[in-house]
Amino acid sequence: MPKKNDIKNETTFRFYEELNDFLPPARRRTPFCYRFSGRPSIKDAIEAVGVPHTEVDLILVNGVSVSFSHRIANGDLVSVYPVFERLDISGVTRLRPEPLRDPKFVLDVHLKTLAKKLRMLGFDTRYETAYTDEEIARIASDERRIVLTRDIGLLKRSEVERGYWLRSQTPARQLREVTEQFDLFKKISPFSRCLDCNGTVRRVDKHEVEKLLQPKTKKYYDEFYRCNSCGKVFWKGTHYLRMLREIEALLTGK
């Protein structure tokens, strides 16, 4: 860290919309002064303030859009905007190649229930309790997945291109938050993925899985589905009806 007497430069930052969630109250929704030495990149400055780069999609310096590698200078006026997954801002410098039209996710170890709920909606969602932050970052980079986490530090890793810090702490609210943030409503394909392993699910004839069924299940149900990866069998029992009500509540906003 530079000594106080070495800091000779300052720039003015203004963060917009949900990016303010990462700032202390005095800096929210208002311009504030950021002091620095040398010529740091705009990415380093933004993260030094406390905002993960994965949450940012547009930066204007003195009214001109710039990339993360841009070097800030004394007297700059910097405006920082959140991810525009739902808007076309192709006329300016996007910080990512393109919005994700087929969103895939990787979740940190604290989000097991959310992972199951995203799979319930049909979204490709990787999750393992044994994942380290390093593994999550690598998977996100290699497979172009969106990192979902409650750990701001994970989103500051350079390998993570797309990520989102969950504001909510309960799984139901987190599911709504993610669905709204990435505009997933039209992409929902319920019960097309296995809740346990994330594999795809297909309908099968009853005789194909009959030996795997309990007597009452075999007696009262005739429509069955099976995971192509782990082989788990599904049917439309009480668990199915409960999830159906949850999806209906999500879609209707209730």
Write down the pLDDT at residue 92: 57
Tell me, what's the pLDDT at 86?
A: 47
User: For residue range 211-225, what is the model confidence (pLDDT) as tens digits?
Assistant: 999 999 999 999 999
Classify strands 56-61 and 9-15 as parallel, antiparallel or unpaired. unpaired
d(CA 124, CA 106): 9
The predicted structure's pLDDT at residue 183:
86
Cβ neighbors of 190 (< 8 A, separation 6 or more) are 120, 121, 122, 243, 244, 247
Give the pLDDT confidence score for residue 95 in this predicted structure: 58
Q: Which two tokens stand for residue 99?
A: 């919005």
State pLDDT tens for residues 80-113: 998 764 445 455 555 555 555 679 999 999 999 9
pTM for this one? 0.78
Q: SS3 string of the chain?
A: CCCHHHCCEEEEEEECHHHHHHCCHHHCCCCEEEEECCCCEHHHHHHHHCCCHHHEEEEEECCEECCCCCECCCCCEEEEEECCCCCCCCCCCCCCCCCCCCCCEEECCCCHHHHHHHHHCCCCEECCCCCCHHHHHHHHHHHCCEEEECCHHHHCCCCCCCEEECCCCCHHHHHHHHHHHCCCHHHCCCCCECCCCCCEEEEECHHHHHHHCCHHHHHHCCCEEEECCCCCEEECCHHHHHHHHHHHHHHHCC
pLDDT at residue 178 in the model: 96
The residue ranges of the chain whose pLDDT is under 50 are 1, 85-87, 89
